[in-house]
Every structure is written in C-alpha cells, then in structure tokens.
C-alpha cells in the first residue's frame, strides 16, 4: 500500500503557516523571548559562524562592492550571544529569530536537506544557573510548547491525531551507552526514544567511556557537560527524529578546556572567542529548533521535502515519486 498524505498540498501549506505561527507564540511566551532580525551571512574572520562538527564547508561568496568574502551561516549559535550583549539583555530574557541556512555537505534524504530552517533562540542566565537543573527546566518548557502546538494543530486539522507522550524522559549519553553497549550511537537513540516516545539525550561532544563521542559538537558554543538533543519517536519513519540541539553555552573555563580537547586552540584568538575568554559576553543558554522537522512530525509526513522547498538529487525525486510522496 502506497503512502497517502493525511493533508493535501493546500491543507499542508495552511497547516505549516498555522503551526509555525503557533509555535513562535508558545516558545516566546514560555521562555520570555523577543523576536529579532538576524543575518544570513557573516564575516568568517569574526569567528561567528557555527562550525558544526568541524568538517562541514560553509557556502562562501565575494562581495562585488569591496571584494570582501562572506559565509552563509550554518546556524546562529554564536551570533545570538553577541546580540544579547549588544542589546543589553538582562538575565531571564532572551531573543529568537528565523534562521535560514545552507549546509552543502548534508546528504539529502527523508530527514535531511541542504536547506535548513530553524528557530534559533538564546536567553541570558545568571552564573548560578549554569546547572543541569536549569537545562532540564528549559527542556521541559520547550517540550510543553511542542505538545501545546500539537494539540492546536490537531484541533485545527482533526484528520491529524496527537501522538507525542505528555512528558519527555532524560538520559545522559554515558547512561545511554551503558544501556545499549553493543549498539552504535544512532541505534542507541532509536532504541531509547522508541521506548519513551520523547527523550532528551544530554552531554554530547565529549568522549564517552568507549573512547568515542556520542555525536560531534563544535567546542566553542555549547558546554559539553550541559547540552543535549530533544528527540521524538516518529512512527511513519520508524526512527527517532531530532527536533532540537541546545545547551548552556561555554564560559571562559569550559571554552579553554574544549578548545584544547578538540585541538582547536587557534580559535582562541578570534574576536568572538576573546570576548568569552575575557568575560565580556553574558552567560547564556540557547539552541535551535527545526521548523521543517517539527512540521514533518506534527503533520505526519514521510519526507521533509513535503514541508519545505529545497533541492533533491534525481534519485531522491524518483524514490519519492514511486512512494507517492509529493515534494514542494
């Protein structure tokens, strides 16, 4: 039996707009965030671009007016913290923005696209709030916003039925390894998320007891001991779907340590990193929440191309056609 989307193309576009508008309201209210405008590109010499796992190549171009070379952002993980400094935000308040990026090295499939759209958010915290308890509280608020929007979407489009659990479970990457020592990281995620429905896997980036990190993380934005991913089980694709990567950001001590561990000490001389090392930037917590990923899950689609317009290799287009998947 071929796949049949619950919503047709017109309903899908209406639902995407409703979902995104609703989630922005829920998130901004829950975390006390103000919407701001954000850049599509940055000067690579500033150190503001997100280096992701350290191997992805940014899309770059030169400016005809002055010959300067700029990079399309991978995310706004670092820019937001600088913006909070420039806008003089106080603890307990923060910002969010629509982030659009191009990640040329992504391998396009049902969950991945070279076009990335997410809500990037950042909030100022106090020194005493750099704790796991604070991280957990924010995760629970974000998940509550997701659940609230799931209910709103299903109420507006009754053909859709809620599927996410009421609560999110928490587990560290080391605990996850202990539970499933014979599985690789992705298989461990699938196993635990299938069991609980929604899970926050914490402490991502540092090496575990098996000598490997659970997943790659740049050393200069999240504190690897105070970060993690929100994952939910998605029945149509029979896998865990990451909806958010987030964490408490590095302070001077953790930045220096993580640059040494990752062998990227040369970054310490960049302007952004110097501001952290000199305690000139506010302490923050922040992350990104995938817009298309959230639409995929809540609208019960089989392919991220059903909720965003992107580029797909011909083989992927043909695979979708054979499975009755309508790409935007």
Q: Give the residue numbers annotated as catalytic, written as ranges.
A: 50, 103, 118, 229, 242, 245
Six-digit token string for 284: 């923050």
Report CA-CA distances (Å) from 32 to 35, 96, 120, 148, 199.
10, 10, 14, 17, 24
**Residue 273 to residue 46: CA distance in whole angstroms:** 9
- Other residues' Cβ atoms within 10 Å of the Cβ of residue 122: 29
Q: How many CB atoms lie within 10 A of CB 200?
A: 22
CB 232 within 8 A of CB 241: yes
Whole-number Å distance between alpha carbons of 253 and 129: 16
Query: Encoding tokens for residue 220?
Result: 């200069």
Q: How far apart are CA 176 and CA 171, in angstroms?
A: 7
Integer Cα distance of 164 and 138 in angstroms:
18
């Amino acid at each position: 039996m071929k796949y049949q989307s619950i919503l047709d193309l017109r309903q899908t576009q209406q639902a995407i707009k409703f979902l995104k508008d609703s989630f922005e309201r829920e998130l901004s209210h829950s975390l006390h965030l103000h919407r701001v405008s954000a850049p599509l590109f940055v000067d690579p010499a500033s150190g503001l671009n997100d280096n992701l796992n350290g191997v992805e190549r940014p899309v770059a171009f030169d400016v005809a007016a002055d010959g300067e070379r700029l990079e399309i952002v991978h995310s706004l993980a670092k820019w937001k913290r600088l913006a909070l400094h420039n806008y003089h935000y106080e603890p307990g308040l923060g910002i969010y923005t629509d982030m659009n990026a191009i990640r040329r090295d992504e391998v396009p499939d049902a969950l991945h696209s070279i076009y990335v759209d997410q809500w990037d958010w950042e909030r100022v915290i106090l020194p005493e709030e750099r704790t796991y308890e604070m991280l957990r509280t924010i995760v629970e608020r974000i998940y509550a916003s997701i659940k609230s929007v799931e209910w709103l979407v299903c109420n507006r489009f009754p053909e859709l039925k809620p599927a996410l659990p009421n609560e999110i479970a928490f587990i560290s990457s080391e605990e996850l390894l202990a539970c499933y020592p014979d599985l690789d990281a992705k298989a461990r995620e699938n196993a635990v998320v299938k069991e609980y429905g929604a899970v926050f896997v914490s402490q991502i980036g540092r090496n575990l007891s098996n000598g490997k990190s659970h997943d790659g993380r740049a050393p200069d934005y999240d504190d690897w001991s105070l970060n993690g991913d929100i994952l939910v089980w998605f029945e149509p694709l029979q896998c865990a779907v990451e909806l958010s990567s987030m964490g408490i950001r590095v302070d001077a001590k953790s930045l220096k340590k993580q640059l040494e561990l990752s062998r990227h000490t040369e970054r310490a001389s960049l302007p952004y990193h110097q501001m952290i090392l000199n305690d000139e930037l506010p302490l923050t917590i922040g992350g990104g929440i995938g817009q298309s990923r959230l639409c995929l899950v809540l609208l019960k689609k089989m392919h991220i191309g059903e909720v965003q317009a992107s580029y797909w290799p011909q083989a992927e287009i043909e695979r979708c056609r054979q499975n009755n998947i309508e790409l935007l």
